[in-house]
Amino acid sequence: MAARNSATTVEGRERYSINVRYLADYRNDLNALRRILIMTPTGAQIPLGEVAHISLNPGPSMIRDEDGMLTGYVYVDRATSDYGTYVNNAQRVLDRQLHLPAGYILKWSGEYEFQLRARERLKVILPIVLVLSLSCSTCSFSRWSKRSC
């Protein structure tokens, strides 16, 4: 009911779908949806509610795309800041129990992704800081270094 691809427009190498949508008044009201008239094979018009069960069910709040692929998000809010242990444990369980069809991927993001980026930065920065600190200490406290520094 929200949208239906009716055509595709081509602009250079890019392709865009043209969607047809019902007015928000129809989409937000179940009774209005049930009253929408549809055409039968004989040409008669009947309310949609006579041939379909219409209800609201929980689902993704929106569909997004990332890297050219449709994306769905599952949000996990941890009470602690140990995202690494949680992700490692969850990944082990998912590896055993979840079999993704071809074309599907699973990617961890959010605080865990930030933690991984920070760890990678520290792998570069920490050795540099330690070398600079040791060289400054050596220059400051060594008699031999007084001549060479």
Query: Could you tell me the two tokens for 47?
Result: 């309310």
- Residues 7 and 13 sit within 8 Å (Cβ to Cβ): no
Report the pLDDT value the prediction gives residue 120, as an integer from 0 to 100: 93
Report the pLDDT value the prediction gives residue 111, as an integer from 0 to 100: 80
d(CA 55, CA 67): 33
> Quick one: DSSP state of residue 61?
S
Over residues 22-34, mean pLDDT: 80
Report the pLDDT value the prediction gives residue 143, as an integer from 0 to 100: 59
d(CA 72, CA 77): 16
Q: Strands, E, within the chain: which ranges?
A: 4-11, 14-20, 37-39, 45-47, 64-66, 69-71
Residue 4 banded pLDDT, cuts 50, 70, 90: low
**Do strands 4-11 and 69-71 pair parallel, antiparallel, or not at all (unpaired)?**
unpaired
Q: How many helices and strands (H and E) does the chain possess?
A: 5, 6
Over residues 55-83, the pLDDT tens digits come to 877 766 666 777 777 777 777 777 766 78
Higher pLDDT, 98 or 141: 98
Over residues 133-143, mean pLDDT: 81
- Residues 26 and 3 sit within 8 Å (Cβ to Cβ): no
Over residues 3-24, mean pLDDT: 78
Over residues 117-134, the pLDDT tens digits come to 999 999 999 999 999 999
Provide the 3-class DSSP secondary structure of residue 48.
helix
